[in-house]
Amino acid sequence: MEILAFSNIIPATPLASMPCGGVTTFRRPQPISAAAKQPPFLSRHQKLAHPMPPEKVEVFKSLESWASRFVLPLAKPVHECWQPSEFLPNPTKPAGDFMDEVKALRDRTIGLPDEYFVVLVGDMITEEALPTYQSMINTCDGVRQESAASPCPWAAWLRSWTAEENRHGDLLRTYLYLSGRVDMLMVERTTQHLIRAGTDVGLDSNPYLTFVYTSFQERATFVSHGNTARLAKKAGDPILASICGTIAADEKRHENAYIRIVEKLLEVDTNETMLAIGNMMRKRITMPGHLMCDDQDPNLFQHFSMVAEQIGVYTIDDYVEILEFLIARWRLEKFDGANRRWEARTICVRSTG
Domains in the chain: ranges and CATH = 52-350 (1.10.620.20)
| Alpha carbon 205 to chain centroid, angstroms | 19
CA 64/CA 157 separation, integer angstroms? 11
What letter represents residue 197's amino acid?
Answer: A
Residue 161 falls in the annotated catalytic set: no
On the question of pLDDT at 322 being above 70, the answer is yes
Query: What is the b/e burial string over 98-128, where b = at least 16 CB atoms within 10 angstroms of the residue's CB?
Result: eeebbeebeebbeebbbbbbbbbbbbbbbbb
On the question of pLDDT at 342 being above 70, the answer is no
Q: What pLDDT does residue 257 have? A: 98
Q: Which position among 193, 254, 290, 303 bears the catalytic label?
A: 254
Q: What pLDDT does residue 224 have? A: 98
Q: What pLDDT does residue 347 have? A: 53
∠ CA(6), CA(289), CA(182), 5° rounding? 35
Q: Consult the annotation and say whether 251 binds a ligand.
A: yes
Q: What pLDDT does residue 335 have? A: 79
Q: Consult the annotation and say whether 254 binds a ligand.
A: yes
Give the pLDDT confidence of 142-164 residue by residue, as tens digits: 999 888 899 999 999 999 999 99
Q: What pLDDT does residue 160 have? A: 98
The mean per-residue pLDDT over the stretch 86-103 comes to 98
Give the pLDDT confidence of 280-311 residue by residue, as tens digits: 988 889 889 998 977 777 788 998 999 999 99
The mean per-residue pLDDT over the stretch 50-66 comes to 92
Residue 303 falls in the annotated catalytic set: no
On the question of pLDDT at 182 being above 60, the answer is yes
Binned at pLDDT 50, 70 and 90, residue 32 comes out as low
Binned at pLDDT 50, 70 and 90, residue 40 comes out as very low
Q: Which position among 82, 101, 188, 270 bears the catalytic label?
A: 82
Give the pLDDT confidence of 159-179 residue by residue, as tens digits: 999 999 999 999 999 999 999
Q: What pLDDT does residue 17 have? A: 32
Q: Consult the annotation and say whether 324 binds a ligand.
A: no
Residue 251 falls in the annotated catalytic set: yes
Q: What pLDDT does residue 27 have? A: 40
